[in-house]
Amino acid sequence: MHRALAARAHESAFALAHALTFACLLALTVALAPGTARANDLDAGIAAMNRKDYPTAFRLLEPLAQSGNAQAQLRLGLLYFHGHGVRESDAEAMRWFERSARQGNAEAQFQLGNMYAYGLAEAAPGVDVDRQAAQWYFEAARQGHADGQYSLGILFLTGKGVVQNPQEALKWIRRAAEQGHADAAAYLRGN
């Protein structure tokens, strides 16, 4: 009789362990699924942009951007900047570029630098717009972004937003050229 009770207790403990393992695996699967779905939505959103299906791209990317995904924020900024699938809005483009840029996204930092450099964004009162452009180009450039490096080099050549410094300009333009940046290489050949 003791053996029968012991056997049932062992079977019950074994069944409970299996049930707990299954429950844990199910919980883990459910917890990881949104991240997987979000990664798939990001890839699908980028693919939609590439095939010029902008409404689909916006539908997939906007929730990701709202939740803080830097790549989705960059892409949403590009949609607003170009007016693809949404009404063109420099203010919205800047808002999304800045959110992404503040998370360290080099392409967003470069795009934000362009918006300041080309007069599409206003700096805060008392802040030089060219200085803002230089700041964002520098953030992109120091991460190895070739367009950011070239643009920062040009600012050092002209002294816009930075102290004019031809040596510093050449340093950044060379870095861009080493990455195959055509305008940087052409400048170096002509200089």
Residue-range domain boundaries for the chain: 1-103, 113-191
| Cβ-based neighbours of 64, under 8 Å, separated by 6 or more | 38, 41, 42, 45, 71, 72
| Spatial distance between the Cα atoms of 92 and 84, rounded to a whole number of angstroms | 13
| Spatial distance between the Cα atoms of 93 and 109, rounded to a whole number of angstroms | 12
pLDDT given for residue 123 in this prediction: 87
pLDDT given for residue 37 in this prediction: 53
- Measured at the CA of 62, the angle between CA 61 and CA 64, to 5 degrees, comes to 65
| Spatial distance between the Cα atoms of 103 and 83, rounded to a whole number of angstroms | 24
Per-residue pLDDT of the chain (191 residues; tens, 9 = 90+): 544 444 454 455 444 444 444 444 334 344 444 444 566 999 999 999 999 999 999 999 999 999 999 999 999 999 999 999 999 999 999 999 999 999 999 999 999 999 999 999 988 899 999 999 999 999 999 999 999 999 999 999 999 999 999 999 999 999 999 999 999 999 999 97
pTM score, whole prediction: 0.79
Domain 1-103 listed as CATH 1.25.40.10: yes
Q: What is the C-alpha end-to-end distance of the chain, expressed in Å? A: 98
113-191: same fold as 1-103? yes
Could you name the CATH architecture of 113-191? Alpha Horseshoe (1.25)
pLDDT given for residue 14 in this prediction: 47
pLDDT given for residue 9 in this prediction: 44
pLDDT given for residue 135 in this prediction: 97
Alpha-helical runs (H) found in the chain: 2-50, 54-66, 70-82, 90-101, 106-117, 129-141, 146-158, 166-178, 182-190
Pair of tokens at residue 49: 């942009």
Mark 34-54 as b/e (b = at least 16 C-beta within 10 Å): eeeebeebbebbbebbeeebb
Specify the 3-state DSSP secondary structure of 42: helix
